[in-house]
Structure 1
Amino acid sequence: MSGKILACLAAGALTVALAGCGYNRTDRAVSGGLIGAGGGAAISAIAGGNPGTGALVGGAAGALGGALTSGRDINLGRPVWR
């Protein structure tokens, strides 16, 4: 059981770390939302919950984290969709 918890925490930390990618606030919010949705669905599935709910919660948290992050904090360059 502790392996699942550790995997969930690692996935969550990675999601938060990558939530701030992009040049402007909109790019960071979109990329954060997408990364958060994927991470939330994965964490929820590993933990035995509903992946759809995990995706919604993770997407909202990632979008919020991306929107609140400064472009100076993390900038991995131009997003793929631009």
Structure 2
Amino acid sequence: MNKILVIGAMSLALASCTTTERNAVVGGVTGATVGAVVSGKPGGVLAGAAIGATAGVLLGKASKPDHCRYRDRRGRVYIARCP
């Protein structure tokens, strides 16, 4: 039951994130998991999380290279061409 509550809380927290933030979190979690499995040491987990988060952001930005996300005064997010 505790696992379900933790997963639910994480899902709600990610729902309010931007796409770039979500890509970073998913990449970081995936990298940390791979680092834990491969090395089994805390250093491997940290390195995997850092590499995964960076890769998630870079791969996410590569999907729409000529578009940027902006926020207007009211906090609404919109996508337009980058300057």
TM-score by length of 1: 0.49
Instruction: Name whichever structure is richer in strand by fraction.
Output: 2
Larger radius of gyration: 2
TM-score by length of 2: 0.49
- Between the two structures, name the one with larger relative contact order (CA 8 Å, sep ≥ 6): 1
